[in-house]
Structures are given as C-alpha cells and as structure tokens.
Chains A and B, each alone.
Chain A
Amino acid sequence: MTDADPVRLYRTVRLIRRFEERAIDLVRAGTIVGGIHPYLGQEGIAAGVCAALRGTDLVTGTHRGHGHVLAKGADPARMMAELCGRETGLNRGRGGSMHAADFSVGVLGANAIVGAAGAILTGAVWARRRRGEDVVGATFFGDGAVNEGMLLEAFNLAALWRVPVLFVCENNGYATTMPVDGAVAGTITGRAEAFGMPAAVVDGQDPQQVHAAAAAAVGRMRDGGGPELVEARTYRFDAHHTFEHVVRLDYRPPQEVTAGRSRDPVRIQGGRLSDAERAAVDAEVEATLDAAVAYALASPEPDPAGALDHLYASGLNARSGGA
C-alpha cells in the first residue's frame, strides 16, 4: 500500500514550496552561491510520485531537483546545508543544488545534464532486482529531455529488458526559453508508446491525480510489469533559474504566467484539508524549515584541504595542481 493520505500529500507540497521560497531568499542574500532552478508550481509531481514509492525504491532527479529529493524523504536541514555549501550537507557541500543526493532514502542524485539520469536509474533498478530486491524506480525529467537521444535510448533498454522504471515527464511547457511546441515533433506519450510502453497524461497540478496515476503504474510494475511513462502537465511559477531574477528574459506572455500560476498544487491540495488541519501542517513545516535554515547557517564550511575528498572511491591520491 502506498500513502495517499491527503494530509501527508499536503505536507509534502507545502514543505517543498516553503523550502524553495526560503532557498530563493538565501540566493538573494548571497548565502546560496550559483543560484537554483526553483521547483515552484511543480511540487505536486514529486509529492504524488514519491508517495507511491517505498523507502527502498530508487529515484533520480533533475537540475530542478529539490522537490524530488525532499519528497523521497531526505532531511530538509541537511538539504538546506547542502545548498549553502556546508560540511553537514547531504553531499558534504560537494554537490550543491544540482547534484543533491541521499542514497540512504533512494535518491541517486539530482543530475545537471538534461536527459542523462534515465539510463542511470534504469541500470540501478535492474541491478537491485537482479540481486533479488523488490524495488522499482522513478526518474524525473523535463519536456526538454524528451529530445535527448540518451533518454530515448533508456526508454528502449528499459522496455526491452522490462525494467520497472516509471519515467516521469514534468511538462512545464518550456525548456528554459524554448516552448514545447517549438521543440517536440510528435508527442511525449507517443515516444513511450513507440517502445511499447504504456503512457498516460495527468494533471500535474493536482497531487492526488499524480499520485493515483503513479500508484497504478507502480502497482503494475510490482506485479511484474515493465516500464511506463507519465506525462504530468504542469507550469513553472518562477524563473528557469534564479539568474532570471536579475536578468529578465522575454519568452512567456504575462497572461500565460498568470493563468499558469492560478492552478496552484499547494492550494489545490490544501483545499482538501480543514482549516485546522492546514494550519497545523503549515506551522509544523515552518518550524521544520526554521530549524533547517538555522542548522545550515550554523554549520561549518568545508575545509579547502579536503577539496578533493572522495574523488576516487579507490582512495587513489590525485596529484595536486600546484608547482
């Protein structure tokens, strides 16, 4: 059984929403260096999909990856510390926003190369199952990624070898500034169908609908089914990346942004709770994030002497670059 409890789903979308808003504040303050790709508006997808997974199931995320990592169960405090480049971060400050990973909860990492993670997840799920573990996986990617050959090659491998991977396309209408219509010949679901994969379109703004579709697919996969694709239609509420807060890029008509923002997954899911329930979750999330930010800011920065720690898992010592 998976967890479709409306309060839990609300808690997850609210956590991601407020986490992102606080992270944006920290970008503006200069505490988070390099900026972030905000997940605002898309929270329902990570929340819905991850609620259909077990702790032992595997996921990979994207450059817009905070939601995936949090929804799968990573500690928000250690995630915030990672974004702030601290030693206590999930990746000891070595990864940052685009590489946040927590293997202990099945997050094999956000990934900064569009379209690259699907094949990695497919191999990981295949390997776990060969070792007799009853796991499935979900890999998140954007509408831009469906034009990357390597992702389509992953579709083929997963389908050919019947690896139970849920391919989750977060179609937010744009790859940076490129609209889907200008980039995708055919359809996204048609790409999956070409490999014999079942594919469905869901309303990505409704966490419960996403969850229902993901849970159905995951159920079939646990019963021996092969990979499936879900295309979650969504809208990115904020910038492609926080650099757009500084440099305005002109590509989304203002009316479209207003309309897109009117369907808010946090409000949609919140509407299913009583006022008292919602207030209790909101207060709990705020307390969690107050603690997360305080933890991150109080944590030490890594010692530059360890800049190449973990470069080689074998322990091979790299020659330094100095004279």
Chain B
Amino acid sequence: MPRLSYRKALTRALADELARDERVFLLGEDIRVAASHVTAGLFTRFGPERVLDTPLSEQAFTSFATGAALAGMRPVVEFQIPSLLFLVFEQIVNHAHKFPLMTGGQCAAPVTYLVPGSGSRTGWAGQHSDHPYSLFAHVGIVTAVPATPTDAYGLLVSAIRHDDPVVVFAPAGALDVREDVDFAALAPVPLGRGVVRRAGDDVTVVAVGHLVHDALAVAEELAGQVSVEVFDPRTLYPFDLDGLCASVARTGRLVVVDDSNRSCGIAAEIIASIVERVPLAAPPRRVTRPDGAVLPFAPGLDRAVQPGRAALTAAIHLVTKDGT
C-alpha cells in the first residue's frame, strides 16, 4: 500500500476540493511557492485566481475571506504560524462566527482556517510555539486537530464542505507522521466524531493531535501492567461526548493529555463534561502545559513545558492506583 504523509494528505485534500468545487479557493502567505509545502503544486495546477498569495495583512485577508464566504465562496486561509490566530482572533470570532446569528440567518460564513505546524517547532520560541485550539473551542468555532494523515485528509475535506467557520490545526509534532493508505479509500471524516485508537480496559486516555502518538506509545510501554484505551477526539468542538462516555463508562478512569495551557484548556472541559455524566472510580487527571505557559527557547526548556510521555505515564499510574 502507498505511504501518505500528513503534509501530503493536506495537499491532497486541498487539491481534491479545489477540483470538486469551483467555489473553493486558497489564500495565505507564500502559498504560491508553498513555503509550508502544504500547497505544493496547487498554484501551477489551479492558477492565481484560485491560489492567492497575500501581502502580510492577516487581519484584512482573514476578513476578506469572510466577505467572500458571505458572497458564496468557500475560502481556505493558510496561516504560517499558530500565533497569527491571535492577530486574527477578532476577525474570526467577532465577524465570521457572528454573522449568521446577527443577520437573523441571512448568511453563512464557510471559511476554513488551516494552521500547518501548530504547537512547538523546537527552537521557534515564545511567539511561534502556541497551540491555541482551546480558545477556538471556547468561543464555539468548529475546531479540528487531526492526528493522522487519513484524518488530516478527511477532516480538512469536511471542514471545507462545512457551512460554518472551521479551524484545522495540523500540529508540528504530527506533520511527519506517515501511514499506509489506500488512496481510493480516502474519504471525508465527519466533524464531531472521535475514535478509539487502541482498546483497553483499565483507563481511558484522551489525547489531542500529535499527543495521540505519544499516548499510543505509552500505552504500549504499559501493556501488561495497565490496559490503556486511547481515545482521539479529532474534533474538539463539537466534541464527541457520546463516544468518550461509552469508553469511560467501561474503564471508569480518565486521563486527558492536551497541549493547551492548563487553566480553561480543553482538558478541563473534557473532564468536566465526563464527570457530569459518568461515575469514575478515581479522580480524573490532566496533563497539559502549565498555566500561562510561554515556550522558552532553549530546547530543554521548551520540552519541559510541553506535556510529555513521562508526565502521562505518571498520571496513568495515579488514576489506576487511586480507588482500586
């Protein structure tokens, strides 16, 4: 079976949607030359009307995309660095997100915001290493964080076809993941549907984005000691609570590993939603970035601030010891 990389999966999703739907177009910085590699070949294939290289005017081009969406198009906006979402938070949250309600249902704003390389890219330091997906879940923007090439393809396709704004985070830590795939079987992945990546009986670990791969590795390491189920929500908002409840109802224990800052991060929301519904055998735990985290430059410091395998292992031991 052919191997598909995460990055190429994003490219393929963009190409397929550009080919399928005239209304789809891309805009962003350096996307003609494809500095992020994600738009490689698309300018040549689809031309300057469908692949627009923008000046460094993020706030304007983000709202330009909103306008185009209100007028019937399906723009995909690529952002080179995750922190640019802070710059355009107003444009997304206060405009694209609010237009349908504020206009009494007169319009839709189907814009996709794509962030290839979110989270830490070691050595890019404080202003280029954020992972602000929880902010978007908080304000209620559809937020997807695919972990695998197949899901990167399928979630990006679904995002482009969705009638509301969607942010797709492609974590830097997942961009090099490769997978054997049958290209003919690549298909849209429904937004709001999670998946059990590994079945287990003792504890459910919810892992977001690239951390799915760490969770799977930890689960393997612990095999024989603790039976770990790994749940990948894939979409953070809306969240597949039914899917996760079914898992936790069986295991009775919950750990969430999430690359957000701790306070008001998605892990907090996941845990709160579960304890409202499912009785647990032990207090749930989360492994996150610290409160207020700013990623320091030096690689050893950068790693120390991110949730890692050691902290996840410790959390699993804590919840499986408590209450047994």
A, B assembled together: yes
User: Which of A33, A147, A306, A312 lies in contact with B55, CB distance below 8 A?
Assistant: A147
Any A CB within 8 A of the CB of B125: yes
Contact B311–A321 (Cβ < 8 Å): yes
Contact A319–B311 (Cβ < 8 Å): no
User: Which of A32, A95, A147 lies in contact with B126, CB distance below 8 A?
Assistant: A95
Q: Number of A-B pairs whose CB atoms are under 8 Å?
A: 151
Interface residues of A in 137-162 (CB under 8 A from B): 144-145, 147-149
Q: How large is the interface on A (under 10, 10 to 19, 20 to 34, 35 or more residues)?
A: 35 or more
> Taking CB as reference atom, which chain B residue is nearest A87?
B298
> Taking CB as reference atom, which chain B residue is nearest A100?
B297
Contact A323–B315 (Cβ < 8 Å): yes
CA distance A83 to B126 in the complex (A): 14
CA distance A178 to B300 in the complex (A): 34
Interface residues of B in 283-312 (CB under 8 A from A): 285-294, 296-301, 303-307, 311
**A115 contacts which chain B residues (CB < 8 A)?**
56
Contact A93–B301 (Cβ < 8 Å): yes
Contact B290–A308 (Cβ < 8 Å): yes
Contact A304–B127 (Cβ < 8 Å): no
Interface centre among A96, A247, A322 (most CB of B within 10 A): A322
Contact A148–B122 (Cβ < 8 Å): no
Describe A's contact surface by its main secondary structure. Answer: loop
Any B CB within 8 A of the CB of A301: yes
Contact B290–A85 (Cβ < 8 Å): no
**A114 contacts which chain B residues (CB < 8 A)?**
56
Count of residues in B whose CB is under 8 Å from the partner chain: 51
Contact B290–A323 (Cβ < 8 Å): no
CA distance A322 to B287 in the complex (A): 5
Interface string of A148-184 (1 = CB under 8 A from B): 1100000000000000000000000001111000111
Contact A249–B33 (Cβ < 8 Å): yes
Contact B56–A307 (Cβ < 8 Å): no
User: Which of A93, A113, A311 lies in contact with B297, CB distance below 8 A?
Assistant: A93
Any A CB within 8 A of the CB of B87: yes
> What's the nearest-Cβ distance from chain B to residue A316, in Å?
8
**B125 contacts which chain A residues (CB < 8 A)?**
34, 94-99, 112
Contact A304–B304 (Cβ < 8 Å): yes
> What's the nearest-Cβ distance from chain B to residue A155, in Å?
15
**A113 contacts which chain B residues (CB < 8 A)?**
83, 87, 127
CA distance A247 to B60 in the complex (A): 30
**B33 contacts which chain A residues (CB < 8 A)?**
177, 249-251
> Taking CB as reference atom, which chain A residue is nearest B58?
A148
Told that A34-B122, A99-B125, A182-B53 touch, could you supply 15 new A-B pairs with CB distance under 8 A? Answer: A34-B123, A82-B297, A86-B298, A96-B123, A96-B125, A113-B87, A149-B60, A175-B56, A182-B55, A250-B33, A301-B300, A305-B304, A321-B289, A321-B311, A323-B287
Identify the 3 closest CB pairs spanning chains A and B, nearest first.
A34-B123, A96-B297, A85-B298
